[in-house]
Structure 1
């Protein structure tokens, strides 16, 4: 018996994940099912960017036109001792190690998303991921490069060495096999998200964390549940831009778009490019000084959108905070039935904490590095508190309905990548053209960077380069199609409902627009 045809548009940073999403559509799933299948596969094939031991934040739009934000970012342990952390680490937390690990929120996030409107069985999410973990996948170009670049910073943890380095440093094309992770995925497939948070895996996982020195306990996992909240929004010309509210830095994008419009900056990708990037620098300083978990620290969103940082010159006033870099995946999916999702999931820095809990094979994120150890900071480490967060899904609507679903990695540069990608798409670029175009990112992307550093791809057009020359920003040139400026994925929805998708050539990804069923 035939079913009503459905068109699905998908863009992810790894071709295997895109194929998993296609299979979900082919089985009768919708955009939510497709995004979840892609996310599970990415947690196996792209461990430098994502794992089930990380966080997730997503925007979901349903056929009625309502959009919700799912914030599955986990908090610090309820028994964390900030004084002990300061004594152990001084002014700021390290980049990696067990002290940077907060409660992983992603799997609970998957559960929440599926309950919002997924059509397929929970277990189907994991089919491709389990096969990939058990039988192995080829190490991709991006993953191989990450192993080379991070060689000096990984390998200190026995679980990590056993999982990823048992046969030496992997190179492109090597087989990556993760049998322990495969068994964990099978347990979550069979027992639901509760298998990790309050079930078959919990006791061994918590015991393993404790042996590594973590303060995360059984209660921290049991009591963790994602938030489902209204998006943060602003108008921009004829569009409305939607993103995630604090504790994420989605406000940075909205703040700068508002400034472009209110200050008459009409050529932000050309002659006004320098002016736009200066505004991103100013917004970054506001983020570094003021952004925190609103559940714990009272904050005024108006101050984030319109206020100024007290920072002066090139350094922030508040010490004790590592400005966010990030290794992340962004998944953009939309379908002709009206479901759309921008899903962002991450381990934070490359390979996260570089710690693998041995009983589960779960690579742990280092999202705790986003906390400040300055007790006067709104973002100061505290029990049960979520850190400042870089994950920020984005959607854009107009009077005709949904127009863009945008998802990117890029750490502290995510708002800037979204802006450059969306501005090109709004000007008429195809989805593929928009994500492929040369771009720049202002702010720290490597150790030792100052806030005013701007990484610029070599083929950035001359008008934008000339505009940057008129600013005090410190230009560092990078090669064309450099991963340092992130992986963007974009779905464009035409006013008549037609779909287009583009996957960033800086990643190992693929985009797909296909009809299913009928």
Structure 2
């Protein structure tokens, strides 16, 4: 019987995870090796200067939520930004918050990895030093961001070797990042937040206009808590609590169950789409750092809220409700990676790390090779908003790792890229898995996602892959939604990764063809 499974969105990262298993590591070791490799090979989606959320399940069945999302600088000034515009900038130094990712790795390693800390960085360091072949997804991101790359010396030095933007198949080397990884391997993860490496990073960021200082870094630790757990039919869905958007997945599943909808991926797709749109609407209005704003989970998952969602979504699906008012300004779409890993002893990891927008803030600190995220772009500048920018406050977050149990036993480990559509992608993948599809079929199946992204688009815009079931497409249109065709296996619809655990312990896995990765199920 297979003894391990891993799925990631990039083949070098999957290989790093497999190598960790074969060297005697467990699911934590494999997930860490793959996650580190992705910070080299998928910089448009994650980097050392990003954030991380994860769920870690022990062999005894205890799950820990790791929240490694960093806060705004102590010197953050919402009034100064309001004087320049009504909304947060999308990129640039003002969007950079404390990068939590490395502290997240530290926490994961401490939850039961068996290989030495430095071993987790071996594959990543080799990829940064020796180089790797640029994949399709990164090549497209580089092409899309030509102007931003050209404007930043750090990005330009890494992504335009020989003065030309890297294309698919180009060998890309990152010597400064390799030196940083070697320092972290030798001195430990706290070297990213304290000491000479942290000082070099902050010096470069402050020269670029960022408000972070060395005390902001030194004071950061990942937060370890119980996961958000919610019963959905016969399943227990586990995800990250706020400031993560994880609550949106059990909310949608609970509303589906309460509604009695029989075909949410077909004739009831308009109903599901409106449920998910309403959840996103609530996130934009209410989700925030619970350390600063009281979070009432009943407001998301209580019976009254679920009944209200069912009523409103049913009216929309039947064409009896008006379209939402207002338009969506262009905002970051969400560039993220997911790694899922399970081992024979019952450990499971769902790990999500991200730079938010493609290539994050569009600032790469040259001395360290660290690309910085733009998670601060998700803050509000509306005075009194729960997610208003404030010193030391974490922004609302889109990331949501997912583990699913049945009768107390692990059933699925799931993760996805997809910005504000995480819950939407998870819903569709999980419904397919529960309908009997294997993980590869479930993550590769046609999808749709709800939400305006471009300037002038409404929140009921639905990006629909060309091969989506015509019955589902018709249901979405009947609900008055605004479909936009996006081709087959479009990155608009995210990169999902999935592992299924059968009652007898047999493992199967799938990796989304929308990315450049692979899933491996192996024996030792």
- Give the TM-score category using the shorter length: over 0.9
* TM superposition shift of 1:7: 0.8
Cα distance in 2 for residues equivalent to 1:64 and 1:449: 47
Cross-structure match for 2:523: 515
Cross-structure match for 1:479: 487
Q: How does 1:315-354 map to 2 (within 5 A)?
A: 315=325, 325-354=333-362
Cα distance in 2 for residues equivalent to 1:121 and 1:435: 33
* TM superposition shift of 1:314: 2.9
Cα distance in 2 for residues equivalent to 1:417 and 1:324: 18
Gaps of 5+ in 1: none
Cross-structure match for 1:206: 202
Cross-structure match for 1:255: 251
**CA-to-aligned-CA distance 1:234-272 (integer Å, 9 cap, x gap):** 112211111111001111111111100111112111111
* TM superposition shift of 1:360: 0.5
1:148 to 133, 143, 149: 143
Cross-structure match for 1:436: 444
Contact 1:288 / 1:316 at 8 angstroms: preserved in 2?
no
User: Matched residue of 1:257: which SS?
Assistant: helix
1:108 to 70, 80, 103: 103
**CA-to-aligned-CA distance 1:100-143 (integer Å, 9 cap, x gap):** 10000000000000100101000011111111111111110111
* TM superposition shift of 1:169: 1.3
| Aligned residues between the structures | 508
Cross-structure match for 1:124: 119
CA 1:323–1:212: 2 relative to 1, 3 Å: closer
Cα distance in 1 for residues equivalent to 2:408 and 2:441: 23
Cα distance in 1 for residues equivalent to 2:453 and 2:425: 13
CA 1:235–1:32: 2 relative to 1, 3 Å: same
Task: Tell me whether 1:382 sits opposite 2:390 in the alignment.
Answer: yes
User: Matched residue of 1:287: which SS?
Assistant: helix
TM-score normalized with structure 2 length:
0.94
Q: How does 1:25-64 map to 2 (within 5 A)?
A: 25-64=21-60
Gaps of 5+ in 2: 313-321
Contact 1:287 / 1:304 at 8 angstroms: preserved in 2?
no
User: Matched residue of 1:248: which SS?
Assistant: coil
Task: Tell me whether 1:15 sits opposite 2:11 in the alignment.
Answer: yes
Cross-structure match for 2:427: 419
TM-score normalized with structure 1 length:
0.95
Contact 2:449 / 2:462 at 8 angstroms: preserved in 1?
yes
Cross-structure match for 2:159: 164
Cross-structure match for 1:86: 82
Cross-structure match for 2:225: 229
Task: Tell me whether 1:301 sits opposite 2:297 in the alignment.
Answer: yes
* TM superposition shift of 1:510: 0.4
User: Matched residue of 1:114: which SS?
Assistant: helix
Contact 1:139 / 1:176 at 8 angstroms: preserved in 2?
yes
* TM superposition shift of 1:288: 0.5
* TM superposition shift of 1:300: 1.3
1:220 to 209, 216, 219: 216
CA 1:12–1:446: 2 relative to 1, 3 Å: farther
State the superposition RMSD in angstroms: 1.8
**CA-to-aligned-CA distance 1:218-240 (integer Å, 9 cap, x gap):** 11111101111111121122111
Cross-structure match for 1:135: 130
Cα distance in 1 for residues equivalent to 2:9 and 2:454: 22
Cross-structure match for 2:280: 284
* TM superposition shift of 1:483: 0.7
